[in-house]
Structure 1
Amino acid sequence: MSPVYPFDDAATARAVVDEHGVLVDWNEGARRLLGWAPEEVLGERAANLLDDGPVVALPDEPCWNGTLTVRHRDGRALPVWILAHHRRPEDGGNWLLVTPLEGGGPPDPDDPLARAELIQSPCAVAIYDERLRLHGMNAAMADVVGMPADRLRGLRISEIGGRRQSEDFEWHMHQVLATGRGNDVRTYVPIGGNGEVSAWLARMSPITDRQGRVRGVCVAAHDFTEQYRARERLQLVNEASVRIGTTLDVARTAQELADVCVPALADFVSVDLLDPPEHGGEPLTGPVTTPVVLRRAAHASINAGSPEALAVTGRTELYPATSPQGASLVTGHSVVISKESGDLDKWLSWDPVRRLHSQELGVHAAMSVPIRARGVTLGVAVFSRFRQPASFMPDDVLLAEEVTARAAVCIDNARRYSRERETALALQRSLLPRSLPRTAAVEASSRYLPAARAGVGGDWFDVIPLSGSRVAMVVGDVLGQGVQASASMGRLRTAVSTLADIDLAPDELLTHLDDVVARLSAEAGAEGRPGEVGATCLYAVYDPVSRRCTLARAGHPPPMLIPPDGPPRRVELPSGPPLGLGGLPFESVELQLAEGSVLCFYTDGLVESRERDTDAGHRLLCKALAARDGSLEEACDRVLRTLLPAGSASDDAALLLARTRALPPSQVATWDIPADPSLVAPVRKQVVDRLDDWGLSEAAFTTELVVSELVTNAIRYGTPPIRLRLIHDEAHLTCEVSDTTHTAPHLRRAKTWDEGGRGLLLVAQLTRRWGSRHTAEGKTIWAELGLLDDE
């Protein structure tokens, strides 16, 4: 039973076979033909109804027809002509089998359907009766369908076509039958059974008897595929190719689509887009389900301020299947409605506010065009006319679809770019430090600003706590953009952290990092393309006890220094080669810094710009740093506002500000230890006394054990002179024991019967962290205890 028209279901024998060959539908017509009741055959294999003989395998084609011998319930063998449609499982089965039970016989001379002279037309013409069943067709239509007319007589168009689009086509035929007015329907579904999609214009007209009563529908099909494909691009299309897609911004591209079509094609145009999938999922490639949520991306009107727009740009609305937007998205085709045909009020009935607003504006025609590109549904564009008197004609629809298709590609490009940019940006942010560590050496603040238009690059910065309350500060820039640059940045940042953990001097660390970059380049070149990994880097180590800062750079811009009592100035450092060249030396420079000095590290994206040269950028940076009011956070914001107003960075920009602190001599204690094991106990006593002076008695027991183990090991395995140093700040207490031996200690697990070998294991378990570093005189073994509750 059709939802549109009460067809006589028993006039056609219809059966549906699923993909396993089992009958899943059996109508009254099939019972009339073969005598089997539905409950007797449903769930059984369709092959069981065939008469004894070779089993006919239906080919894997959209449509098949032929004669099969089937068994009647009374045992008779009946040759039956079958029309079979191969359908998708979601359409209700794998094969739809139909055969007409009515039709044929000599025509009645008084039958208005028989008197229709269009049967002799050279155009493809078909006549349907008032039950919308095929009465006859001419030879041209039979060639289009690919089957003889006498076989199809008595079938509905939905049974001949076998597709959902055929049911929509049938709905339009019913409109003609019900209203008595002709209708033109444009479709891109195949009418024949060869599966080739063609463009067809079906002109439907009512057939009346002598009394003027509608007795049927005449359908004249015109194939305009070649004309459609060969149609010369109109001026609007040329203009659209220039004006649409000037940027890789989705909202801007949608606005360009609306602006191009007003007033050339419509008086008001709205563009609504589907939101991109969450969590980086794939965009929708299948049919859209309703109700659908669309976000207003843009609209344009011939009237200033677009008073016709009820939706606000940027907000979402829910559109049901009965709306033009929902209908065009579900069917994938344009929907054209007009006041003249009576469809306008019906299509707007889902929203009384819109219908009233449309009536007030005088909207008499509307057209909804889906926005699709590369098989992905992006949204829908709606064109409305209220000042232009003409309704939308087929040529208007073609033009709107052409312009929308061009815009869809641009929107899809913008979305793909945005998605890749967001992926690279998310990767970049995940690899950068979420927050800078609090250290006794410096107070630090940072900013990272991705490029406004270009892809995300490989800028990074870091603050790394070192032993002895020292701190390392690093800033770098990986050449290139996109995910690859961000990934390389993450690998280099990890390498720097690892190398910093073994307390290499800045020039030595850059030498090792240069080898890492060279290896990354070699790995990139191994994939069939030349190595393109390169980077610049600046590395500095600051000691709050001595207030000395050691710096080295590899092709990176030098830092700025803002003394407590002087103007900003550039720190003169040997430039050094960029990372990845290999074999070239790096040089370190040591500075003595006053407490409260500010070091400014940055990447070239901060000072370089198309609008100014690098020197002008440095002058602006000095000007921004010269204002000493406010915190470091405010200073970072001031620098970005001065050099990159409104986030106009043409390249990634990283900024790191660090204000130095100094540990006073009262927080540092040093002892020279004679190489005599009997003096370890007096040393422990002096350490405990000093902790009492510092108010750190709670840490005395652990510290006494750590000092005893480290000093004893230095006396036993080291070479004099031996020195013990304690450093404390608000959060940590560090014990350091130095000697002139370069052999580093190793943590090992002693066996049960061993008398020694457990000292460093005990130190590792009692302290927050421990390690060793090489010095110019030898080595230093250090252990750090946490003084705060959360440590």
Structure 2
Amino acid sequence: MAPATRTEAPADEVRRPRPSVRHLAGCAAILLDADGRVTQWGGGAVRLFGRPPEAAMGHDICDLLLRGTRRETVHRALRQVASGVRWCDVLSAECADGRVHDVVFTWEPLAHPGPWGAVMVTAVDASPPLHDGADASARERLALLDELSTHMSATLDPRQAAEDFTAFAVPRVADTATLYVIEGLLRDEEHPERAPDGSMRVRRLALKLGARQTDEVKWHAAFPVDEVVGYSARHPASRCMTANAPVFSSAADLEIDYLDRIIGVLGEPALRYLEMSSFLTVPLTARGMVLGFIALSRFPDRSRFDEHDKALAEDLAVRAAISIDNARLYTRERRTAQALQDNLAPRTLTAPPGLEVAHRYLPASAMRAGGDWYDVIPLSDTRIALVVGDAMGHGAVAAGAMGQLRAAVRALAGTDQPPDAVLRRLDHMAEDMDAIQCATCLYAIVDLATHTCSLACAGHPPPILVSPDGTASVLDLPAGLALGLGDPAFARAFTTTQVPMPPGSTLALYTDGLVESREQDIDTGIATLRRALASPGPTLESTCESIIAALPRQYDDVALLLTRTTS
């Protein structure tokens, strides 16, 4: 089939002409990583392409399904999606009947992918259907998948993602919807072990009721969000998670405690009503791991769940599971990075007599961890080492690199060597630290007895010295190269510069995130910082605040260390 002509589309979507919707005969939701390898293969994909998950997971989508010279088309789509653009194209693919069909592939980015970034692919068979029923089924599933993509908010909160999904499912798919995750997954644990008797403990994240369940207060009192409940091995929820497949059930399969709670809300006549109701339990699976399940119910005045509903619920659950898992992984990495930052960075800086200290650390994002750091290290009664640095990157890796550098500097400071020698040794050590690709650093020693400051720089922004009369000057230091570059000719050519620092002088050390942004270049930022230092507040703390307010919005981590000699 000749490729369709590309046309411009509104907003952030790139589309190619799609076949008439009456030709749709099958629908699948697939998840890929940024390189095009399958990380999620739902029930719809099994039915459309005839391959079980174990035969698809980890395989390149081109090698798995596509024929002909389509690899560049797919990689172009992945590049578009990486930049936040939705892409639609018609490609030839092998389907479950062993024949090659024309399939509409819609590629779209998931919100806030982070290091678990992925591409959601909706695949729709565009070949003529065998019967009108298949046509209508696929059309409905595709429409609901598109609607769910719009409905679910771009959240990194697992509970919000759960609420978004249940609010979508009722009343479109069911009269009630409840979403559970396996207890422990939202904390730091890995996938919890199943109890010896096969039972499972799960946490209720969201409950949504239809319009007929008017007394929501009673319902939520009977089935509170965040409640942890246990299900025996024979319960539909446990069977659903064990088999990783949807399970049809009836009121006879429900636990006595669950029935008692419903009757407590609806009264005794509800038992007969429940006996005529229909129940469907669907697993939440992401990246090959079962996270929990979705419990759906329909009352007697609505058609009972059937195979079509099961297929639809499976496809919808794929999107819900990925959103919840992305939020779970983001939260876990944020906790890890923050723990590293809290334990590796100095919580308090102790200023010796004769020196005042004020400092700020501002993370660039909610991850609250990065590679920026600073420290104050007493060397003797009158000599104090000051250091500021910036390890490339954000998150746990950068925080780990920062911790290694800070520990190394503290160890080297104890040898009482001049700044250039400390940086030379630190550069040697950085070459052996796998987490460090590149880092800048500025190391200074303030001598209160001689009223001098000795400094050496490794690719770091220059410090600013404010004299007692209020004159703020950018110190012209040999820049040196960043640490860890491993260049034998230049990387270790660090130089110590000594400047006078009489009582009443203020030295400002900072990272580039403070002075460089999308709105201004680093030279303009340094000039703004110099002016702010020339008009200090009554205390160093207030000066810190005025500096942060004077500079533009920060898109990178920021570290600021101010020191003032008092004697």
TM-score tier (shorter): 0.5 to 0.7
Deviates more, 1:275-284 or 1:487-496: 275-284
1:249 Cα deviation (Å)? 4.8
Q: Which residue of 2 aligns with 1:236?
A: 144
Q: Which residue of 2 aligns with 1:494?
A: 407
- Write the distance in 2 (CA, Å) between the matches of 1:462 and 1:574: 22
* Alpha-carbon distance change, 472 to 301 in structure 1, aligned in 2, over 3 angstroms: farther
Counterpart selection for 2:189 from 281, 305, 311: 281
Q: Find out whether 1:439 has 2:352 as its counterpart.
A: yes
Q: Which residue of 1 aligns with 2:3?
A: none
- Write the distance in 2 (CA, Å) between the matches of 1:567 and 1:267: 72
Q: Which residue of 2 aligns with 1:19?
A: none
* 1:668-683 equivalences in 2 (<5 Å): none
Q: Which residue of 2 aligns with 1:328?
A: 237
- Write the distance in 2 (CA, Å) between the matches of 1:641 and 1:367: 55
- Write the distance in 1 (CA, Å) between the matches of 2:535 and 2:525: 16
Compute the RMSD of aligned alpha carbons. Answer: 4.8
TM-score using structure 1 length: 0.44
- Write the distance in 1 (CA, Å) between the matches of 2:430 and 2:495: 18
Contact 1:560/1:569 (CA < 8 Å) preserved in 2?
yes
Q: Which residue of 1 aligns with 2:265?
A: 355
Contact 1:329/1:379 (CA < 8 Å) preserved in 2?
no
1:543 Cα deviation (Å)? 1.5
* Alpha-carbon distance change, 307 to 628 in structure 1, aligned in 2, over 3 angstroms: farther
Counterpart selection for 1:398 from 311, 328, 339: 311
Q: Write the deviation string for residues 442-483 of structure 1: whole angstroms up to 9, x where unpaired.
A: 232334344426794322211111124211110111123454
Contact 1:284/1:376 (CA < 8 Å) preserved in 2?
no
Counterpart selection for 1:599 from 492, 498, 507: 507
* Alpha-carbon distance change, 299 to 594 in structure 1, aligned in 2, over 3 angstroms: farther
- Structure 1 counterpart SS, 2:190: coil
* Alpha-carbon distance change, 356 to 470 in structure 1, aligned in 2, over 3 angstroms: farther
Q: Which residue of 2 aligns with 1:566?
A: 470
- Write the distance in 1 (CA, Å) between the matches of 2:380 and 2:233: 68
- Write the distance in 2 (CA, Å) between the matches of 1:323 and 1:642: 62
Q: Which residue of 1 aligns with 2:440?
A: 536
- Structure 1 counterpart SS, 2:227: strand
- Write the distance in 1 (CA, Å) between the matches of 2:300 and 2:532: 56
Counterpart selection for 1:418 from 331, 347, 354: 331
Contact 2:281/2:293 (CA < 8 Å) preserved in 1?
yes
Q: Write the deviation string for residues 214-240 of structure 1: whole angstroms up to 9, x where unpaired.
A: xxxxxxxxxxx99xx998553223444
- Write the distance in 1 (CA, Å) between the matches of 2:376 and 2:224: 40
- Write the distance in 2 (CA, Å) between the matches of 1:346 and 1:534: 61
| Runs (5+) with no aligned partner, structure 1 | 1-196, 198-224, 525-530, 663-791
* Alpha-carbon distance change, 494 to 345 in structure 1, aligned in 2, over 3 angstroms: closer
- Write the distance in 1 (CA, Å) between the matches of 2:144 and 2:540: 55
- Write the distance in 2 (CA, Å) between the matches of 1:574 and 1:312: 70
Task: Determine which structure has greater relative contact order: mean sequence separation of CA pairs < 8 Å that are 6+ residues apart, divided by chain length.
Answer: 2
- Structure 2 counterpart SS, 1:418: helix
Letter in 2 for 1:349: L
Q: Find out whether 1:660 has 2:537 as its counterpart.
A: no
Q: Which residue of 2 aligns with 1:467?
A: 380
* Alpha-carbon distance change, 316 to 492 in structure 1, aligned in 2, over 3 angstroms: same
Contact 2:338/2:367 (CA < 8 Å) preserved in 1?
no
* Alpha-carbon distance change, 278 to 404 in structure 1, aligned in 2, over 3 angstroms: closer
- Structure 2 counterpart SS, 1:437: coil
Q: Which residue of 2 aligns with 1:427?
A: 340
- Structure 2 counterpart SS, 1:351: helix
- Write the distance in 1 (CA, Å) between the matches of 2:494 and 2:210: 64
Letter in 1 for 2:565: T
Contact 1:441/1:471 (CA < 8 Å) preserved in 2?
no
Letter in 1 for 2:463: P
1:310 Cα deviation (Å)? 2.1
* 1:222-301 equivalences in 2 (<5 Å): 232=138, 234-240=142-148, 246=154, 249-258=157-166, 260-266=168-174, 269-276=177-184, 280-284=188-192, 286=194, 292=201, 294=203, 296=205
1:490 Cα deviation (Å)? 2.8
* 1:102-113 equivalences in 2 (<5 Å): none
* 1:62-101 equivalences in 2 (<5 Å): none
Contact 1:459/1:652 (CA < 8 Å) preserved in 2?
yes
* Alpha-carbon distance change, 295 to 652 in structure 1, aligned in 2, over 3 angstroms: farther
Q: Which residue of 1 aligns with 2:457?
A: 553
Q: Which residue of 2 aligns with 1:200?
A: none
Q: Which residue of 1 aligns with 2:104?
A: none
User: How many percent identity over aligned positions?
Assistant: 38
Letter in 1 for 2:203: L
Q: Which residue of 1 aligns with 2:229?
A: 319
Q: Find out whether 1:578 has 2:491 as its counterpart.
A: no
Q: Which residue of 2 aligns with 1:127?
A: none
- Write the distance in 2 (CA, Å) between the matches of 1:432 and 1:596: 28
Contact 1:291/1:318 (CA < 8 Å) preserved in 2?
no
* Alpha-carbon distance change, 382 to 358 in structure 1, aligned in 2, over 3 angstroms: farther
* 1:357-376 equivalences in 2 (<5 Å): 367-374=280-287, 376=289
* Alpha-carbon distance change, 438 to 252 in structure 1, aligned in 2, over 3 angstroms: same
* Alpha-carbon distance change, 291 to 577 in structure 1, aligned in 2, over 3 angstroms: closer
* Alpha-carbon distance change, 547 to 393 in structure 1, aligned in 2, over 3 angstroms: same
- Write the distance in 2 (CA, Å) between the matches of 1:319 and 1:598: 60
Contact 1:323/1:347 (CA < 8 Å) preserved in 2?
no
Q: Write the deviation string for residues 237-287 of structure 1: whole angstroms up to 9, x where unpaired.
A: 344467669565534543443454355324664434345469843222546
Letter in 1 for 2:371: G
* Alpha-carbon distance change, 514 to 256 in structure 1, aligned in 2, over 3 angstroms: same
1:428 Cα deviation (Å)? 3.4
* Alpha-carbon distance change, 574 to 239 in structure 1, aligned in 2, over 3 angstroms: farther
Contact 1:267/1:388 (CA < 8 Å) preserved in 2?
no
* Alpha-carbon distance change, 347 to 489 in structure 1, aligned in 2, over 3 angstroms: same
Letter in 2 for 1:559: P
Q: Find out whether 1:458 has 2:368 as its counterpart.
A: no
1:548 Cα deviation (Å)? 1.7
Q: Which residue of 2 aligns with 1:588?
A: 496
Q: Write the deviation string for residues 123-181 of structure 1: whole angstroms up to 9, x where unpaired.
A: xxxxxxxxxxxxxxxxxxxxxxxxxxxxxxxxxxxxxxxxxxxxxxxxxxxxxxxxxxx
1:630 Cα deviation (Å)? 6.6
Q: Write the deviation string for residues 601-640 of structure 1: whole angstroms up to 9, x where unpaired.
A: 2222334444655466557756876775575456556656
* Alpha-carbon distance change, 537 to 283 in structure 1, aligned in 2, over 3 angstroms: same
- Write the distance in 1 (CA, Å) between the matches of 2:517 and 2:382: 38
